[in-house]
Structure 1
């Protein structure tokens, strides 16, 4: 999951950084760190965030750093 995908997924869900942190059970500072893309977050942190977003209906689209994206799963598009 790229920082851009994290921000885009959060936007699809209309979640703030605080809401994502609450749903994922992590600190809001951690969400900001991941989304800033300035460091190397722990793999467990990225997996936790991704799992949370996927549980909310986000689907991650693989690709290179410039072409990866996100969308809502079909069942959630209503």
Structure 2
């Protein structure tokens, strides 16, 4: 019922609705100001770069996201450009890194990337 209301009210795609619900339910309850077209999957290189930007080990990232360290390591090793994680796991990792100050940049003609958020 709740999911249907969000979907109808904001006319979000199914992926955007799932991401929004996962983040709203997350332990930090952070506010989301995203449009459905802003939501995209991150890739293994972005995950590695994001961890590097905040100087996190795979274990630190896993702890912050409340996921297994094997999930982080396996996702970063994939060669097909996809993390290969369940949407909830990907959202938890992304949320943890964003809370640490990382901003994920979508493929917009210049290639996907990461950067630190401005203060």
Which residue of 91, 94, 97 corresponds with 1:47?
91
Q: Runs ≥4 in structure 1, deviation > 6 angstroms?
A: none
Q: Equivalent residue for 1:28?
A: 69
Higher relative contact order (CA 8 A, sep 6+): 1
Report the TM-score, using the length of structure 2 for normalisation.
Answer: 0.58
- The runs of 5 or more residues in structure 1 that have no matched partner are none
Kindly indicate whether residue 70 of structure 2 is the aligned counterpart of residue 19 of structure 1.
no
Q: Could you say which structure has the larger radius of gyration?
A: 2
**Structure 2, unpaired ranges of 5+:** 1-41
TM-score by length of 1: 0.86
Q: Output the aligned Cα RMSD.
A: 1.6
